[in-house]
Amino acid sequence: MTTTDRERVGTVVAAQRPRRADARRNFDALLDAAREAFAENGAEASLEDIARRAGVGIGTLYRNFPTRTALFETVYADEVDGLCRLSDELADADPWEGLATWLRRFVDYTVTKRAIREALDGESDVFVSCRGAMIGAGEPLLERAQEAGLARADISFDDLLRMMSGVLGAAYVDEAQRDRVFGFALDAVRAAR
């Protein structure tokens, strides 16, 4: 039996998550703090700042993530794992709403991804597995919307991800503007009525 990209992505985080409840809380707090710091400050976010945001000492950060790369990979894999879990939850939702909900989460993911992408090798096993898992999670949602006649038939999932990444990679005045532009992009995916 071969290991799928999705299983590999889930293993990255699960293998590192401590068993003791207090250590698990610290681990999860570090992931949340790192995600927030990377979104605000990019790949150069300070590890000391991440530990402070998580309410732990720098030693706790290094016990969980011995290298900066290990932290980047774990945050990235955790984000992709969240996209995969959401895809499972949306499997029986209205096809258009399922796709739109998943894409909204993808928008949030792109903020973290941008910072982490700078720091990770695009050919690393973790990065390649994350990409495969994300495609495997999102592509069926697009296909369901297309089969229901709700999404354009002439758009591939790769087209969709590139469009969303491009549109959302720009700098915006505020979140309201980003949300409006996201809505315009989503309208471009909707099948003509």
**CATH no. for residue 50?**
1.10.357.10
Say what the pLDDT of residue 171 is: 78
Burial class (CB in 10 A: 0-12, 13-18, 19+), 153: exposed
Say what the pLDDT of residue 165 is: 82
CB atoms within 10 A of CB 58: 12
Provide mean pLDDT across the span 67-78: 87
Q: Report the domain count for the chain.
A: 1
Say what the pLDDT of residue 121 is: 60
Segments forming the whole domain that contains residue 148: 5-189
Entry pTM = 0.80
Quick: pLDDT tens for 119-139: 666 667 777 888 888 899 999
Say what the pLDDT of residue 1 is: 32
What's the rounded Cα separation, in Å, for the pair 161 and 60?
36
Say what the pLDDT of residue 111 is: 64
Quick: pLDDT tens for 99-108: 999 999 888 7
